[in-house]
Chains A and B, each alone.
Chain A
């Protein structure tokens, strides 16, 4: 389980181009910094810091944290700002990529990642702002949930976070990209067979050209 999360994080890190401004959600996205080269991208956290880095124990400052309230460091050239400015950056389209976890993603590209029906709905945080505002949305998630139920579904049964389409989904089994009106399977992770992905995915998807080529070899 732990290894599959690392695999997802490593694959997601490859999507982050030079100088991109990136916001990482909680869960699997928090593992991504371990795979980033120095200066690969600039990390933004919505509680008010651009230039997030990891931090050594002796440098921990309880008043310098990320959105998950975990201690972080600051890069050279980092800046602090208040929450309204931070969300202006997000909603205003100044953040290039947001990498988020998900409970479900559906065939419309809709993401559910803030509330579970039947449980108390008492927190949303920045999830809705990030989904609506970041230029590119990458969802990182286990392909199926712990009880085996599908997370990539025809239509979300959990409350959706936004009507905005998620551009990419990276799981422990596969990578999907949104194309015009649905998801395209562009990669199989590791030794995964196509049949396993078909079996564990409820939404319909197309096969990407590259993948078709590699499968026909």
Chain B
């Protein structure tokens, strides 16, 4: 069975109320084609697990503007000034995590680990209500793993089996998200034949990937552009 599908088929897996992981550090390494396709679907009350909610009117910011998001879990929402407005009007819930805790929670979620203890945020406002534990004389707090119904990620290249290689700092949260959702769609710039990727260079093995979509939107020096 081929994993190669259209963006429209890929986003049809998203249902109202789903938890959806979306890769990217801002727009860098973000699955822009899949997000754009999702703007055309009638879904609501989504919980988005992503470092940011894109930028104002771009990337995940498009879904925010449409009122499709119920909650965002991430580390740096400051990069989209619209987020504060939605939050203050009570139309968007936010769960703020330190970036290292956020990324580790996704890795744990994909690795069958329920949660972990970390020193990060101990004694700060972000630790309020969280269990603490002393280990070898140091205080840690408990953080729960993160999992999702669907993950939309971006990679540089996929072979037809779904093995993935990434590009520079566009890698960011994508490899962990590939492991932590029930249905994983990757958007790629290039699809190559099986055997063309060296087994040594593969970062995400194919068993994590359910579907592959060819990217139609890329981030250039001049902003988001359609692939020519």
Contacts and interface: CB of A to CB of B under 8 A. Distances in A.
A54 interface: no
Contacts of B166: 80, 82
B124 A162 contact: yes
Interface stretch (B14-22, B32-40, B60-68, B75-83): B75-83
- The secondary-structure label for the interface of chain A is loop
Nearest to B25: A47
Interface in B180-227: 203, 219-221
Contact of B96 (A62, A63, A121, A126): A121
B113 interface: no
Interface residues of B, number: 49
A107 to B, nearest CB: 16
B100 interface: yes
Contact of B100 (A64, A65, A90): A90
Interface stretch (A96-104, A128-136, A185-193): A128-136
B123 A46 contact: no
Given A63-B28, A132-B119, A160-B123, A126 B99 contact: yes
A33 interface: no
Given A63-B29, A125-B75, A162 B96 contact: no
Instruction: Specify which of A45, A74, A123, A132 lies most central, judged by the most chain B CB atoms within 10 Å of its CB.
Output: A123
B176 interface: yes
A196 interface: no
**CB-CB nearest 6 A-B residue pairs:** A87-B100, A123-B78, A129-B100, A163-B123, A83-B103, A122-B77
A102 to B, nearest CB: 14
Nearest to A72: B169
B25 A69 contact: yes
A211 interface: no
23 contacts: A46-B99, A62-B28, A63-B28, A63-B29, A63-B167, A63-B219, A74-B168, A82-B172, A82-B173, A83-B25, A83-B103, A83-B173, A83-B176, A84-B103, A88-B100, A91-B118, A120-B84, A123-B78, A128-B98, A128-B124, A133-B120, A159-B124, A162-B121
A186 to B, nearest CB: 27
A125 to B, nearest CB: 4
B126 interface: yes
A48 B169 contact: yes
Interface of B: 25-26, 28-29, 51, 75-79, 83-84, 87-88, 94, 96-101, 103-104, 106-107, 118-126, 166-176, 203, 219-221
B156 to A, nearest CB: 9
A82 B171 contact: yes
A190 B104 CA distance: 44
Interface string A136-163: 0000000000000000000000011111
Interface of A: 45-49, 60-65, 69, 74, 80-84, 86-88, 90-91, 115, 120-129, 132-133, 159-163
A123 B176 contact: no
A123 B77 contact: yes
Contact of A159 (B84, B125, B174): B125
B68 to A, nearest CB: 19
Contacts of B122: 132, 162-163
A124 B104 contact: no
B99 A87 contact: yes
A160 to B, nearest CB: 6
B99 A122 contact: no
Given A84-B107, A84-B176, A49 B100 contact: no
